[in-house]
Structure 1
Amino acid sequence: MLTIGSLGKKTGTKVQTIRYYEQIGLMPEPGRTEGGQRRYGEAELDRLSFIRHARQLGFSLDAIRELLDLSNHPERSCDEADAIARRQLKQVYQRIARLEALRTELERMVHECSGGKTSDCRVLEVLRDHAECLTEHDEIGV
């Protein structure tokens, strides 16, 4: 049996994150010692590793909840899991496109800056007026 600290170390997850996952139902309530200390077994270690890996791949908590539910029903088709992964992949492609647009705009701003006085600085000019941008680059949440 593992303590919450040991579970966190084994999975690279902060203790407060594990507690949060318990609060929102991604992790089951753990067994406790007579002194009230949480104890975790292999099933919880596997589940938290699954959650952590899914988070590293950018899956939302709702998507992870769906994937965990699917993994609890091995007789079901994996079409739903595939659809969830395809949605995530689409989001990754969209983020990459936004990042590439951002890179292009920043490269252009830096290239057009003559290095003179700030009153003539192209970087500052573009940042003041979004209309000066040549690419669409909404917030990307990075």
Structure 2
Amino acid sequence: MSDKDEGRRLLHIGAVAERTGLSLRTLRHYDEIGLVNPSERTEGGFRLYSDAEVERILLIRRMKPLDFTLEQMRELLDITHDVAQPDAPIEARQKLREIEAIAIERRTALENKVAMADEFLSRLQDLSSPRQDGVKPETGL
């Protein structure tokens, strides 16, 4: 780390991967496509990430289960940067609300899928458990 970095902590890509639960390959891909670029590189070429970049990566990770595309992720990262500014454009706040509505809708769909999966697992457990009264359970799944 150089003198200019003394007040700021930079993490190697391996530490970022561990902290975010993403693979090195995924982090390298995000860098290659310009989604999240490391702050610096070491003399040996290793990627170094600031806490702000790690937060961006965590935001992306949180979007993945909701099936946002890489382009939508890029758009949200830009919007979150814009709305953090004191003179944030109204359009950015409106777009953020639109993305929030999409996220809520997709989360609800995921909840419904989990509920169906739980019902299915419960049914399988009922079928695989021997009954004490000797009667075979009905076989309809």
Common fold, TM-score beyond 0.5? yes
What is the one-letter code of the residue matched to 2:94? D
User: Percent identity between the aligned chains?
Assistant: 26
Closer, same or farther: CA 110–44 of 1 in aligned 2, 3 Å: closer
Deviation at 1:26, TM superposition (A): 1.6
Q: After superposition, give the CA deviation of every residue in 1:79-115 in whole Å (9 maximum; x if it has no partner).
A: 2111111112112223434554566677678879x74
The answer on 1:61 being equivalent to 2:76 is no
Deviates more, 1:75-84 or 1:47-56: 47-56
Match of 2:4 in 1: none
What is the one-letter code of the residue matched to 1:83? E
Q: What is the aligned length? A: 119
> Do the aligned residues in 2 keep the contact of 1:70 with 1:76 (CA within 8 Å)?
no
Closer, same or farther: CA 53–105 of 1 in aligned 2, 3 Å: closer
Unpaired runs of at least 5, structure 2: 1-9, 128-134
Match of 1:18 in 2: 27
Matches within 5 A, 1:90-101: 90-100=105-115
What is the one-letter code of the residue matched to 2:106? Q
Q: TM-score, normalised by structure 1?
A: 0.61
Alpha-carbon distance in structure 2 between the residues aligned to 1:102 and 1:32: 45
Unpaired runs of at least 5, structure 1: 127-142
Structure 2 counterpart of 1:6, from 15, 18, 21: 15
Deviation at 1:20, TM superposition (A): 2.1
The answer on 1:122 being equivalent to 2:139 is yes
> Do the aligned residues in 2 keep the contact of 1:3 with 1:38 (CA within 8 Å)?
yes
Match of 1:50 in 2: 59
Structure 2 counterpart of 1:80, from 76, 92, 95: 95
> Over aligned residues, Cα RMSD in angstroms?
3.2
Secondary structure of the residue aligned to 2:82 is: coil
> Do the aligned residues in 1 keep the contact of 2:76 with 2:96 (CA within 8 Å)?
yes
Match of 1:138 in 2: none
Q: TM-score, normalised by structure 2?
A: 0.61
Matches within 5 A, 1:94-109: 94-100=109-115
